[in-house]
């Protein structure tokens, strides 16, 4: 079977095109105030991580203003929390994204959890996770939300199907499992203490890999006809799944790079534009009542 390539670049550009229109409408309504995304990221030798540079370029394409706070290697949790508090209170900032990983001395979970719910466009706070898991309004975690968008874009049915998520991190694996469950898949979550990972992976009609280990999952483990989603990324472009041994057995797969990654950035921007639209709607004067 020739597998379907679940390309993420093209649908991400389609999302961006629609977002650019929504940004133009907001600008016309707000008299020039652009939706604004603040990113906090660890300072690197190159200045900022490449993933942050890519987000900045995508902001530019759709007309979202990007504000970057670089977190020095020696920064404390208090430094980052103070910056988040300032951004929470700034009405010109609509979205706040804390780029993982922060420097080792910073309590990342406290920082994620300090982001105001309405501005948590990365969906990484405990509050956002809990609300999304319960079906209440909140921005869902960006990478799992991007996976759901890709599956929907390519018309992959989920209801009643056997989904396996490899990885249980708070940022990817757990929210991914909750979103698949909400879409009526039957979900198994695997982790480093799971027994017989190959057998568990072999049950998957839909497999999402987020183990953070390059090529840990082998193509030879896959069930025939599986839809294979690789959320992993390791420079220069290696995923968590090695498809070389799949021998064309999967029905569809995401390329790395060019699959989940571009859609994740598009989802982050979409959340930011939605946050700006909500802020603009709450600022608007009440509609005039007919006499």
Sites of contact with ligand NAP (CB under 6 A): 100, 143, 166-169, 171-173, 190-194, 197, 210-213, 216, 231-233, 240, 264
Phi, psi of 232 (to 5 degrees): -75, 150
The b/e string for 108-142 (b: 16+ C-beta within 10 A; e otherwise) is beebbbbbbebbbbbbbbebbbebbbeeeebbbbb
Q: How far is the CB of 35 from ligand NAP (least distance, A)?
A: 22
Whole-number Cα distances in Å, 106 to 73, 76, 95, 124: 9, 5, 21, 16
With respect to ligand NAP, which residue has the nearer C-beta, 19 or 190?
Answer: 190
With respect to ligand NAP, which residue has the nearer C-beta, 32 or 235?
Answer: 235
How far is the C-alpha of 197 from the C-alpha of 166, rounded, in Å?
A: 8
With respect to ligand NAP, which residue has the nearer C-beta, 98 or 279?
Answer: 98
**Long-range CB contacts for residues 191-194, cutoff 8 Å, separation at least 24:** 191/167
Q: How far is the CB of 269 from ligand NAP (least distance, A)?
A: 15
How far is the C-alpha of 218 from the C-alpha of 34, rounded, in Å?
A: 45
With respect to ligand NAP, which residue has the nearer C-beta, 49 or 63?
Answer: 49
Q: How far is the CB of 239 from ligand NAP (least distance, A)?
A: 7
Which H or E run includes 77?
A: helix 77-88
Q: How far is the CB of 169 from ligand NAP (least distance, A)?
A: 3
With respect to ligand NAP, which residue has the nearer C-beta, 149 or 168?
Answer: 168
With respect to ligand NAP, which residue has the nearer C-beta, 26 or 150?
Answer: 150
How far is the C-alpha of 156 from the C-alpha of 98, rounded, in Å?
A: 31
Q: How far is the CB of 166 from ligand NAP (least distance, A)?
A: 6
Residue that is written with structure tokens 């294979």 in the block: 228
Q: How far is the CB of 107 from ligand NAP (least distance, A)?
A: 15
């Amino acid at each position: 079977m020739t597998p379907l390539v679940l390309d993420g670049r093209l649908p991400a550009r389609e999302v961006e095109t629609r977002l650019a229109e929504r940004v133009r409408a907001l600008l016309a309504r707000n008299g020039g105030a652009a939706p604004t995304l603040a990113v906090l990221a660890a300072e690197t030798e190159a200045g900022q991580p490449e993933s942050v540079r890519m987000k900045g370029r995508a902001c530019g394409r759709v007309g979202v203003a990007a504000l970057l706070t670089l977190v020095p290697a020696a920064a404390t949790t208090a430094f980052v929390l103070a910056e988040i508090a300032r951004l929470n209170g700034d009405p010109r900032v609509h979205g706040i994204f804390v780029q993982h990983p922060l420097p080792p001395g910073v309590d990342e979970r406290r920082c994620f959890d300090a982001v105001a719910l309405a501005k948590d466009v990365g969906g990484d706070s405990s509050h956002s996770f809990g609300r999304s898991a319960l079906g209440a309004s909140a921005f869902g975690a960006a990478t799992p939300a991007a996976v759901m968008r890709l599956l929907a874009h390519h018309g992959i049915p989920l209801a009643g199907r056997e989904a396996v998520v490899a990885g249980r991190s708070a940022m990817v694996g757990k929210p991914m499992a909750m979103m698949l469950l909400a879409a009526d898949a039957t979900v198994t979550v695997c982790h480093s203490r799971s027994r017989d990972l190959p057998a568990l992976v072999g049950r998957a009609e839909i497999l999402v890999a987020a183990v953070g280990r390059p090529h840990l999952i082998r193509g030879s483990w896959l069930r025939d006809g599986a839809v294979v989603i690789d959320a992993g990324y390791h420079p220069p472009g290696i995923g968590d799944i090695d498809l070389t041994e799949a021998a064309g057995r999967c029905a569809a797969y995401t390329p790395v790079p060019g699959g989940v990654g571009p859609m994740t950035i598009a989802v982050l921007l979409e959340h930011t534009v939605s946050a700006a639209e909500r802020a603009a709607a709450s600022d608007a004067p009440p509609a005039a009542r007919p006499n």
